[in-house]
Amino acid sequence: MNLAQRLSFTHGLIALLAVAVTLGVMMGGARYLFWNEIAESQQKQLAGFALAARESFFAHEDVATLNFMRMAAKDETVVFAAFVDGGARNRLALPSAFQDADLTPGPRLLSDGRRAEVLASKVEGGGQPIGTVALAYDTDKLEARVRAQVGKWVGLGAAAGACAILLALVFSVLVSQSLVRPLRRIRAGTDQVRAGKLDKLVEVDRSDEIGALARDFNSMVVRLKELEAVKRDFVAGVTHDFGTPLHAIRNALEFLEEGKAGPLTDKQSEYLLMISNNTLQLTAFINNLLTTAKIEAAKAEPFFESLDSLALAREVVALYQPQAQKLGIGLRLANEEP
């Protein structure tokens, strides 16, 4: 999974998590609000029932109370409405099947198997008790009504959440592309540097951390280009300063070896051979230096060849043998092949 896919996946996951949390809070908050609204409505309905009972008491007739009970019975969530006067001599209930129902406030299981919540309130008038009014509500129907209302809100929230997730995914794709595109340019620039091409800089017009990274990369490329020029000049100077005297030494050695300056003794020939070999080694060093510079500039391919380590060791012993003799040190090659 590349960076763009990771960013899109992460943004989508965050949006999904945010929508899920929002729906959860919305569901819990909606249930709380709807139940509070139902409780307030029930308290208002019970207060209206008490007011009707008080009017009936002062009018000395039960018309207002019965009218309110009939109106309350039309509500599908109301199981029954009941009124008991102060002396418990007169008792009214609708439906009449609940004439003897328990009016104690609280939840209970009714005789017909329904779960109900009973609300009751004492009624007073003229400083004396009038009676008690009670309303019983079907708990299952209230729960169904709350679930229906919550379902509507959650459905709207889910639709809005789906739109939000879609927009978040589109936005995340655009953002990830805007972040990844300059990074790809920087990566392409590193490939150019690896190939030894230091003449191209990364074009990233940003003021954030990616822009700072691109500017640092370009600064590095410019510095490498400067160092490459310094190294190239150094190698050219070294090869010129070493090559010219080595060429002169080689010409002088050839002149002496050909005997044009007079005959040579065996010891002189031996030393001339040593000088010639070391001159060849310095020439090989200069050539290797040039080859290394070409390899680092990606203009030459390295190659491998076999090396006679014993012959190299003999040359080193022969090179330092005169110095060892002056210091009285015996220098010899150990473990030499017979």
Q: Is the pLDDT of residue 301 over 60?
A: no
pLDDT class of 2 with cuts at 50, 70, 90? low
Q: Which of 15-24, 134-143, 258-267, 326-335 has the highest mean pLDDT?
A: 134-143
pLDDT class of 118 with cuts at 50, 70, 90? very high
Q: Is the pLDDT of residue 243 over 90?
A: no
What are 15-25's pLDDT values in tens digits? Answer: 777 778 877 88
Which one has a higher pLDDT value, 179 or 33? 33
What are 155-193's pLDDT values in tens digits? Answer: 887 888 788 778 877 777 777 777 778 878 888 888 877
Q: Is the pLDDT of residue 317 over 60?
A: yes
Q: Is the pLDDT of residue 297 over 70?
A: no
CB 22 within 8 A of CB 161: yes
Which one has a higher pLDDT value, 299 or 273? 273
pLDDT class of 139 with cuts at 50, 70, 90? very high
SS (H, E, C) the chain: CCHHHHHHHHHHHHHHHHHHHHHHHHHHHHHHHHHHHHHHHHHHHHHHHHHHHHHHHHHCCCHHHHHHHHHHHCCCCEEEEEEEECCCCCEEEECHHHCCCCCCCEEEECCCCCEEEEEEEEEEECCEEEEEEEEEEEHHHHHHHHHHHHHHHHHHHHHHHHHHHHHHHHHHHHHHHHHHHHHHHHHHHHHHHHCCCCCCCCCCCCCCHHHHHHHHHHHHHHHHHHHHHHHHHHHHHHHHHHHHHHHHHHHHHHHHHCCCCCCCCHHHHHHHHHHHHHHHHHHHHHHHHHHHHHHHCCCCCCCCCCCCHHHHHHHHHHHHHHHHHHCCCCCCCCCCCC
Predicted local confidence at residue 120, as pLDDT: 92
Predicted local confidence at residue 278, as pLDDT: 81
Q: Is the pLDDT of residue 228 over 80?
A: no
Number of alpha carbons in the 13 Å side-chain half-sphere of residue 27: 12
Distance CA 140, CA 36 (A): 16
Distance CA 97, CA 235 (A): 114
Distance CA 45, CA 59 (A): 21
Distance CA 64, CA 52 (A): 5
Predicted local confidence at residue 7, as pLDDT: 66
Distance CA 272, CA 295 (A): 34
Burial class (CB in 10 A: 0-12, 13-18, 19+), 263: exposed
Cis peptide, bond prior to residue 95, ω within 30 of zero:
yes
Predicted local confidence at residue 234, as pLDDT: 75
Mean pLDDT to the nearest integer, 110-138: 87
Mean pLDDT to the nearest integer, 69-94: 84
User: How many whole angstroms from its chain centre is CA 190?
Assistant: 25
